[in-house]
Amino acid sequence: MTQRHTRLTAIPPLLKTSLCALLLALSPASQAAGMADNPEVQQFIGAMQALHGLDAEALNLRFARIAPNERVLKLMEPPAKPGQRSWQRYRSRFLDGTRITRGVSFWQEHAATLAKARVLYGVPEEIIVAIIGVETIYGRNTGSFNTLEALATLAFHYPRRAEYFREELEQLLLLARENSADPADYSGSFAGALGIPQFMPGSQRRYAVDFDGDGRVDLENSATDAIGSVARFLEQHGWEKDGPVAVPARLAGDPDERWLEAGIRPTLVAGELLQQGVRAEADPARKVTFVDLATPNQATEYWLGYENFYVITRYNRSSFYAMSVYQLAQALRQRYQASQEVVARQD
């Protein structure tokens, strides 16, 4: 101890100050910083050890190395001055030339896998491709946030949805153990979604499949696993094989408020809506949801959504999202069929 002090005092004052700071940063006491000193984190670690047998010491070290991510919290918060919701603005983000062109290429490259998923799970190719296109532009934008840090930030510093994100944090730790991986090595969206299809950790554990048969589920690098997993997710949430998704509707006046208040799950009988002035090419016996897609200073679009429309909202609970997926799917189907006709003529 005396020798170390003697050598240190011989160092110029400015350099000595910097070196002291470095030594302090590397000291055992400093390693207890980060999130590990949060009582709620400690309670969570204890629960993970008790419920799942996870190593508390290892979890303490991991949480000590991360801190709340302010950018994650900022991205989760609604804008201070929220603008008007606009269907056309939202739609333009996903129905663009890039997603359609790349989507057709993705379909062509993975045609056999997509056909296999359709046969096994009953979900059309264009719906699978559209979801992957909306989520990550076919794997090109999977996110660069550290998933452990993002989920921990939201689990312990975002009270509005803390319970949900703590559950997903728990699922991430279990997913990492199942894959013999370090939970700190996962990256994805600011909300914790992972890989090509942007599955939350819990969804990956419940619905993801090893569709390429290599012995492991890899949603980060395997488009084949991503395709099978998206199809299985939809199938497990009630996708109706060969069932309709949505049909446009027209009204002479304003919609009945009760139709809008009925919610996103199909509970309205199409035939009754037709009798009340809704004009649509709808099966009168089927149950539907009444969908209004508003754009400021433009006429509101109305649609009747079937069970399959509702199933798409299980991926993202938004009618804007589900309709974007559906309309992108239609555009992809049309463009893909046209490309196949060109190939057939050339042959």
Tokens found for residue 325: 């997926």
**Partners of 287 in the β-ladder:** 269
Could you give the CA distance from residue 246 to residue 167 in angstroms, rounded to a whole number?
A: 33
Q: Say if CB 296 and CB 94 are below 8 A apart.
A: no
Task: Please say if 167 is a catalytic residue.
Answer: no
Give the 3-state secondary structure of residue 246.
Answer: strand
Give the residue among 219, 162, 160 at the shortest CA–CA distance from 189: 219
Tokens found for residue 329: 């799917």
Q: Which residue has the tokens 């893909």?
A: 336
Give the residue among 331, 255, 253, 336 at the shortest CA–CA distance from 288: 255
Could you give the CA distance from residue 182 to residue 156 in angstroms, rounded to a whole number?
A: 21
Distance of CA 260 to the CA centre of its chain: 26
Kindly give the residue spans of alpha helices, DSSP state H, lying in the chain.
2-9, 13-25, 39-52, 56-64, 70-76, 87-94, 97-109, 111-121, 125-136, 147-157, 162-178, 201-207, 223-236, 257-261, 270-275, 307-313, 319-346
Enter the DSSP assignment of 95: S
Active-site option among 125, 126, 135, 307: 135
Question: Who's near 319: CB < 8 A, 6+ residues apart?
Answer: 264, 291, 292, 293, 305, 313
Tokens found for residue 201: 């950790």
Could you give the CA distance from residue 85 to residue 105 in angstroms, rounded to a whole number?
A: 32
CB atoms within 10 A of CB 210: 15
Classify the C-alpha dihedral 51-54-59-62 as positive or negative. negative
What CA–CA distances, in Å, run from 175 to 143, 170, 216? 18, 9, 12
| Residues involved in catalysis | 135
